[in-house]
């Protein structure tokens, strides 16, 4: 079920690019399609967060941490170096370009760790298939979400909503820069905890962006 949903999401994102809803001449139409794009991306991020939450709870249940890990974990999240707004006002005050960049950075940062997490989970015989599928789905989702957000950025740049200062984080240089080895030191549980937090951040930021740029539909 999840696999099919994942495929559906991929198709949705590619379809949006392949078949634009209307021509460039109609300005109103552009805005509508941007809102549509945003909605899809937000839905995707919400789903991603949900899966991460499930996985985290399951992991917590399975491995029975004796103590609250929160004290230690915060120091170990590899994405702690990324400056993220920690409040509503901060997020709203932040420029659109910055916020967009933060989102992209987060998504980029999690692509490899999740993939490796999935690999390690697959080899873990303790985990059942359900969790293994979820981890795979999660890593795919990050990938897809990043592509989706990049499309949104391109659209916004085309519409002139944001400037072109947003760096292309898909470039190999950007990928190399984000490829820090910190995450390899993290334990699986910490990874899940960190990703759960970051997926919530992404979801929130996307929603704030959307309601700031195209607030007509569903804010």
Partner 1 sequence: MCYIITYILFTVSVLPLCVVLLLFPSPSSHSLASLPLCHCLSAPLEPHFTECISREQETFRCWWSPGSYHNLSSSGALRVFYLKKESPTSEWKECPEYIHSNRECFFDVNHTSIWVPYCMQLRGENVTYFNEDDCFTVENIVRPDPPVSLSWTLLNISPSGLSYDVMVNWEPPPSADVDAGWMRIEYETQYRERNTTNWEALEVQPHTQQTVYGLHIGKEYEMHIRCRMPAFTKFGEFSDSIFIEVTEIPTKESTIPLTLILVLGILCILILIMLVVLTQQHRLMMVLLPPVPAPKIKGIDSELLKKGKLDELNFILTGGGMGGLPTYAPDFYQDEPWVEFIEVDGEDGDSGEKEDNRASDTQRLLGLPHPVSHHMNMGCSNAISFPDDDSGRASCYDPDLPDQDTLMLMATLLPGQPEDEEASFDVEERAPASSERSLVQTQTGGPQTWVNTDFYAQVSNVMPSGGVVLSPGQQLRIQESTLATEEETQKGKEGEESKETEEEKQKELQFQLLVVDPEGSGYTTESNVRQISTHPQPVETKPAATMEDNQSPYIHPDSPQSQFFAPVADYTVVQELDSHHSLLLNPPPATPMPVGYITPDLLGNLSP
Contact footprint for partner 1 (CB under 8 A): 46, 49-50, 53, 57, 60, 64-71, 73-75, 84, 86-89, 91-92, 197, 200-201, 204, 207-208, 210-212, 215, 219
Reference 194, options 102, 117, 127; nearest CA is 117
Q: Least distance to partner 1 from the beta carbon of 18, Å?
A: 28
Q: How far apart are CA 135 and CA 6, in angstroms?
A: 12
Nearer to partner 1, 20 or 215 (CB): 215
Q: Least distance to partner 1 from the beta carbon of 86, Å?
A: 4
Find out whether 152 and 34 touch, Cβ atoms under 8 Å: yes
Q: How far apart are CA 143 and CA 107, in angstroms?
A: 8
Nearer to partner 1, 54 or 122 (CB): 54
Nearer to partner 1, 18 or 64 (CB): 64
Find out whether 34 and 159 touch, Cβ atoms under 8 Å: yes
Nearer to partner 1, 89 or 126 (CB): 89
Q: How far apart are CA 157 and CA 81, in angstroms?
A: 27
Task: Count the Cβ atoms, other than its own, within 10 Å of residue 175.
Answer: 13
184: CB partners within 8 A, 6+ apart: 116
Find out whether 108 and 143 touch, Cβ atoms under 8 Å: no
Q: Least distance to partner 1 from the beta carbon of 37, Å?
A: 15
Nearer to partner 1, 155 or 201 (CB): 201
Q: Least distance to partner 1 from the beta carbon of 26, Å?
A: 26
Q: Least distance to partner 1 from the beta carbon of 95, Å?
A: 16
Which structure tokens are listed for 93? 């005050």
Q: Least distance to partner 1 from the beta carbon of 80, Å?
A: 9
The DSSP output letter for 85 is: -
Nearer to partner 1, 62 or 115 (CB): 62
Nearer to partner 1, 64 or 185 (CB): 64
Q: Least distance to partner 1 from the beta carbon of 22, Å?
A: 25
* Buried residues in 114-125 as b, exposed as e (16+ CB within 10 A): bbebbeebeeee
- State the residue for tokens 């569903």: 218
């Amino acid at each position: 079920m999840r696999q099919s949903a994942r495929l559906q999401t991929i198709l949705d994102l590619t379809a949006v690019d392949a078949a634009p809803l209307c021509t460039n001449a109609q300005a109103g139409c552009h805005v509508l399609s941007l809102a549509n794009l945003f909605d899809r991306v937000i839905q995707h991020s919400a789903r991603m967060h949900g899966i991460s939450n499930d996985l985290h709870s399951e992991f917590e249940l399975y491995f029975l941490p004796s103590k609250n890990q929160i004290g230690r974990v915060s120091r170990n999240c590899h994405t702690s170096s990324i400056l993220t707004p920690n409040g509503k006002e901060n997020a709203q005050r932040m420029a659109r370009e910055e916020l967009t960049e933060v989102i992209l950075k987060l998504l980029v940062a999690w692509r490899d760790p999740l993939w490796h997490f999935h690999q390690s989970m697959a080899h873990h015989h303790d985990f059942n298939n359900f969790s293994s599928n979820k981890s795979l789905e999660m890593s795919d989702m990050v990938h897809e979400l990043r592509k989706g957000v990049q499309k949104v950025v391109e659209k916004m740049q085309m519409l002139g909503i944001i400037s072109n200062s947003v760096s292309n984080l898909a470039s190999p240089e950007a990928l190399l820069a984000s490829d820090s080895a910190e995450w390899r030191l993290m334990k699986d549980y910490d990874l899940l905890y960190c990703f759960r937090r970051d997926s919530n951040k992404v979801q929130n930021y996307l929603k704030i962006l959307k309601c700031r740029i195209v607030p007509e539909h569903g804010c």
